[in-house]
Amino acid sequence: MRQFFLLLTPLFLYGQIDRITGEAFATRSEVIASHGAAATSQPLATGIALDILKKGGSAVDAAIAANAALGLMEPTGCGVGGDLFALVWDPKTQRLFGYNGSGRSPKGLSLAQLKAELAKQGLNEIPPYGFLPISVPGAVDGWFALHQKFGKLPMDQVLAPAISYAEEGFPVSELIGYYWAIGLRLHQQRPGAFGATFSINGTAPIKGQIFRNPDLAATYRQLAKSGREVFYRGEIAKQIDQFFKANGGYLAYRDLAEHKGEWVDPISVNYRGYEVYELPPNGQGLAVLQMLNILEGFDLKSWGPDSALTLHTLIEAKKLAFEDRARYYADPAFCQLPIQQLLSKSYAAERRSLIGDRASHRLDAGHFPLQTGDTIFLTTADQDGMMVALIQSNYRGMGSGIVVPGLGFCFQDRGQLFHLDPQHANVYAPGKRPFHTIIPAFVLKDGKPWLSFGVMGGDMQPQGHVQILVNLIDFGMNLQEAGDHARWQHLGSSDPTGSVMTDGGFVELERGIPWSVRRELIRRGHAIRDGLGGFGGYQAILFNSEQKVYYAASESRKDGMAAGY
């Protein structure tokens, strides 16, 4: 019965039958608060963030505390074995800061060695699980870099709530429990301690069951006491090194010891008077900005939010941006990327002209020279005006499936997103950051903070960002309506790992989109399918500068919650 309900949920709850009217719909009211706000994908984590704010912590402190809790409570999406990206509005300097906390590939594994290992295993691409796709986890370094710059409370206080929950236990929430069971089936027999760490007597915890992770509590205690160094150069690093050596893995002590994240300048475009900010590659935030540049030339408002013409135009803009994503998005430390050209309004006009009345089946990326040289999102805001957009992930839900005994967390598998062609910008290389899907977003209005938000979920993320922004800016929806409105997702585009779109891909639609619109999209040549979930996970905080209050919203498709005080 449970499986049957989950199959129906995306159609009858996620799509919301009420939305067939085409009118704006919200599952609940926005949260409105004057002192601080938080929105995460797990209610207990949201509560922790608020507690930290009430104790005088900054929005960054609250974000780290919530992220640590989610690593425990939602290991199906994040954890300290993964990477982290963040955008922070600093009210003191009136400046938006960007942080890239992604890790690099093992320096002891060359492209030739990787290909030989793949051939030995009978593979022609990097696998999603096991030791080969593992790159250095950057989340812990990100926590401490953010905390050093913007934290107020000591790190032991910031991590204390997650440590307490890890030791005493917490009740597993519904959707997380569903994905947890899938992860356990996938990874229970892998080398290491996955099964012992993430099961209760060999089975996944169910909704409402108390789960404890004393190993993760011990890891967090070491971080609280000794800082980032214990993870990258101290006892934890040594445990990781020893385990990988003993089991044929390639991640080594040197990779951890030499890791460092990077403060970066966010990139932006102006969309109808709103300055939309994303982080530059190796992430895919650039695709959001390219799509918005293309869409700016169309009168979406007059067409309406669920018209066939609006959806057709958004889908085609996505296809165009994703062709450039497949060709040019990579680690800028290894290749000089044409970011400014891709962001130019003149280039957007060229690409816009390629959108016709019919669905495109095959597209090419723009022509610029190259010169070599499953996820959680949360957002917090404090009484001083600091706002944080933080996204953190293991990739593919529970990551690689590799857990070092005694540490309590799973390693990410981001390395699967490398290309194997030596001529490609995203080709695998030792010490290189792979193409990344996780992206936080921030919007300024008249130079002041307006919106901190994200929509987690792989390739859905740029599409989700654009849909949220169009709902807010073009169609005037409120913050919760913008997230609850029925979504679409296009799949089958060319991607940075080597696949090429030759048939136009297909579009998944939530049930709230009218059948008449579906028929018109089919007439225009789109392959349409019903979506069974996978439409992303939205969290957002908006600051109303006139009222001097925060508005917060959370994803109705997940277990999350927005709250404020």
Catalytic residues: 375
Q: What DSSP assignment string belongs to 18-59?
A: GGGG-S---SSPPEEESS-EEEESSHHHHHHHHHHHHTT--H
Pick from 349, 279, 347, 289: nearest CA to 318: 289
Residue with tokens 């870099």: 145
For residues 490 and 467, the answer to whether their CB atoms sit within 8 Å is no
- Per the DSSP assignment, residues forming a β-bridge with 187 are none
In angstroms, rounded to a whole number, what is the distance separating the alpha carbons of residues 192 and 403? 5
Three-state SS for 150?
A: helix
**Farthest-apart Cα atoms in the chain, separation:** 63
Phi, psi of 172 (to 5 degrees): -70, 135
Q: What DSSP assignment string belongs to 183-201?
A: HHHHHTTSSBSHHHHH-BT
For residues 355 and 313, the answer to whether their CB atoms sit within 8 Å is yes
Neighbours of 345 (CB within 10 A): 12
Pick from 145, 143, 138, 142: nearest CA to 104: 138
- Helix runs in 130-226, H state only: 139-150, 155-168, 174-187, 194-198, 214-226
Residue with tokens 């790159």: 135
Residue with tokens 């919007």: 443
CA angle centred on 364, ends 287 and 118, rounded to 5°: 80
Q: Based on the number of CB atoms within 10 Å of its own CB, is 442 exposed (0-12), middle (13-18) or buried (19 or more)? A: buried
Neighbours of 8 (CB within 10 A): 12
Pick from 139, 159, 205, 173: nearest CA to 410: 139
Three-state SS for 175?
A: helix
